[in-house]
Amino acid sequence: MDTAVQSKTKHPKGLWVLFGTEMWERFNFYGMRALLTLFMVNSLLMKEGDVTIIYGGFLALCYLTPMLGGFISDRFLGNRYCIIVGGTLMAIGQFLMFMSASTFGANLGSAQMMMWIALGIIIFGNGFFKPNISSMVGSLYPKQEKSKLDSAFTIFYMGINMGAFLGQLICPILGDVKDASGIRDIHAFKWGFLAASIAMILGTLTFIFLKNKYVVTPEGRPIGGLPSENTAEDFEEGEAQTAKFSSLSIGIATAVFIAAFFGFQYLFVDKIGFASVGMGEFVKAVIYPFIYSMGLALAYLIMSAAENKVERDRIWVIYIVSFFIIFFWAAFEQAGSSLTFIADNQTDRHIFGWNMPPSMVQIFNGLFIVVLAVPFSMLWDKLRAAKKEPVSPLKQAIGLGLIALSYLIIAYNVKDLGNSGLLAVKWLILLYLIQTMGELCLSPIGLSLVGKLAPKRFASLLFGVFFIANAAGYALSGTLGSILPATGDKFLAAKEQNINLEKVLDKTYKPTSKELFLLAQSNLADVDFGNDDVLKKDIQNLFKENKEIIAAQRTAHENKLKELQKTNKDAKLDFTMDLNQIKYPTEAQLAKIGDGNTVKAEYKTFSGFEIRNLFEFFMVFVILCGIAGAILALISPILKKMMHGVN
């Protein structure tokens, strides 16, 4: 390689190769993410509450498996091969999502199974890919140029969000399609998933063909090769080249994991084990405790290998900051679940006469990142030159404060909406603007902080720890998203069935068994079949049949309205469901429903408090992130000392 060319540039050309690779990978991930929850609810007939839990678990596992990918990279394959393996797996997973979205009409069960397989493959592919490409960015810069890392990671982060923007633009255009009357084409999701698969193929090929020429050190040596090929030049002076974990440390870490796993189940999960209802309960009972416990066990294991006080202090800074960012991501990742459902069901999405698809509202985050990433990078550089740059933990505290502010503004604007008012989409756009500013203060700074503080011998593993904090945040986001109260469309759907949902939730009216069944089939009530698998199967079959009956009624209603509007464009026609066509359970099954043990319609709760409306829902995030940000700001001077000269 012509190293003279690289030395004249502020950043090495390898950064732009990694930028492009990551851009296509994020197109793939965020494009699929924009469609996933809507696909599961509308095509696979899953409940919103379960979907939110599953969505949080999926994202959490995507950020847990980087621990495994980091370990395999550090010990066996190296960064380069792990990126290629990860990209290939994710492309295959997205293609299976395309197949699931192509076959659900013929066989719903096999389509659901194919979706689970696809998500599993994507999870492991992401684990191979994510920590290794981030680690390679840090490896591009020799010790004397580490001060450029904040700027480099901000540019890299712009690539992440440019890909996210493109994915959230193109995949919803192809996959989230509604006709003029607002009826969604549930068969269109497949095209969005196919676009995501193609994007991942492009990203993987970009890396394969350009890595040898550009992803190298200033001296021209390959970065991220096989660990067995590393030389002393790949490590800083005096630094051990291999992380060593004693048998005792591994044993203690295993004990920590087991104790924490059952402890989290006891503290946070109502139903424990595999007999719980549906995949949503399984995720809460098993996946979430696994993630939290793995984070604690790995944190102990890495700390046990620290060789001196400086290393231990710096690793502690990574751990402490990682804990606080859990609350940021728990709030931020409502974008793909609860905020998408709100955008779909209780938002006026018209912009200049165009009704934006609900899955596309998330696009503003990626757009604002692309616009603001370079100005923020320049801001940090300018403050650094003036010796006024905030220490990294303080920047992250500012990020937490900004996301709390964004939810405070949105909470104020939904306070008086009632059960049928629509939120103007401009408030969601403002929310994403403020959250983007918070994200730029927190996420790329966190990546840079790990790159600067982590000992190289387990740098990828510590990036894995950082992503476990993201995983814990996403797990918490699923838990918090599941307390989303009934939105306006739910009250309207209940009204169409001659049920006053507000009175039912307030417990001023006791619904009949048939009314509870109607609420359950419209996802307006929680269903708990316990161990009665026969009842569960029978009721779910009725749900599926009635969904088709109701869809046919709505289609007939829309066709009739279109005929009326041919002669009177302002004509309106209220939809009234013909309940005589609905298929109900048997009397024996209705008796089980009516006793209140199978179907319940009630407000969701958080820490013992009922969440009755959207205002109370959003205030949960204001309080959590506001308190976390304030505490992190207060302890930032202590963390600065523990960083031992790194800023």
pLDDT digits (tens, 9 = 90+) for 159-183: 887 898 899 999 999 999 877 666 7
Q: What integer pLDDT is reported at residue 460 of this predicted model?
A: 66
Which of the four pLDDT bands, split at 50, 70 and 90, describes residue 272? very low
Provide the mean pLDDT of the chain: 83
Q: Which residue is associated with the tokens 């934006």?
A: 356
pLDDT digits (tens, 9 = 90+) for 552-590: 787 787 788 778 877 877 777 777 778 788 888 888 887
Q: Is the pLDDT of residue 236 over 70?
A: no
| Single-letter residue type at 119 | L
Q: Is the pLDDT of residue 259 over 70?
A: yes
H/E element holding 130? helix 108-139
Which of the four pLDDT bands, split at 50, 70 and 90, describes residue 321? very high
| 501 and 524 Cβ atoms separated by less than 8 Å | yes
Percent of the chain with pLDDT over 90: 27
Q: Is the pLDDT of residue 2 over 90?
A: no
Helix or strand or coil: residue 437?
helix
Q: What integer pLDDT is reported at residue 171 of this predicted model?
A: 94
Q: What integer pLDDT is reported at residue 240 of this predicted model?
A: 47
Write down all domains in the chain, each with its CATH number in brackets: 12-228 (1.20.1250.20), 490-602 (no CATH)
Q: What integer pLDDT is reported at residue 85 of this predicted model?
A: 94
Q: What integer pLDDT is reported at residue 623 of this predicted model?
A: 95
Q: Which residue is associated with the tokens 């066989």?
A: 107
Q: Is the pLDDT of residue 98 over 80?
A: yes
pLDDT digits (tens, 9 = 90+) for 351-395: 888 888 888 888 898 888 888 888 888 888 888 888 888 888 999
**Residues 6+ positions from 405 with CB-CB distance below 8 Å:** 434
Q: Is the pLDDT of residue 634 over 90?
A: yes
Q: What integer pLDDT is reported at residue 234 of this predicted model?
A: 54
Q: What is the mean pLDDT of residues 47-73?
A: 83
Backbone angles phi, psi at 337, to 5 degrees: -125, -90
DSSP class per residue in 38-99: HHHHHTS---HHHHHHHHHHHHHHHHHTHHHHHHHIIIIIHHHHHHHHHHHHHHHHHHHHHH
Dihedral over Cα of 116, 119, 125, 130: its sign:
negative
Q: Is the pLDDT of residue 214 over 60?
A: yes
Which of the four pLDDT bands, split at 50, 70 and 90, describes residue 5? very low
Q: Is the pLDDT of residue 203 over 50?
A: yes
User: Which of 384-393, 488-497, 596-605, 636-645 has the lowest average pLDDT?
Assistant: 596-605
| 154 and 439 Cβ atoms separated by less than 8 Å | no
| 297 and 260 Cβ atoms separated by less than 8 Å | yes
31-35, 349-353, 403-407 — most confident range: 403-407
Q: What integer pLDDT is reported at residue 3 of this predicted model?
A: 45
Q: What is the mean pLDDT of residues 143-149?
A: 69
Q: What is the mean pLDDT of residues 442-471?
A: 80
H/E element holding 454? none
Q: What integer pLDDT is reported at residue 7 of this predicted model?
A: 47
Q: What integer pLDDT is reported at residue 255 of this predicted model?
A: 94
Q: What is the mean pLDDT of residues 40-44?
A: 86
**Ramachandran quadrant class, 273 (left: phi over 0; alpha: psi -120 to 50; beta: rest):** left
| 628 vs 459, residue with greater confidence | 628
Distance CA(446)–CA(466), nearest Å, equals 8
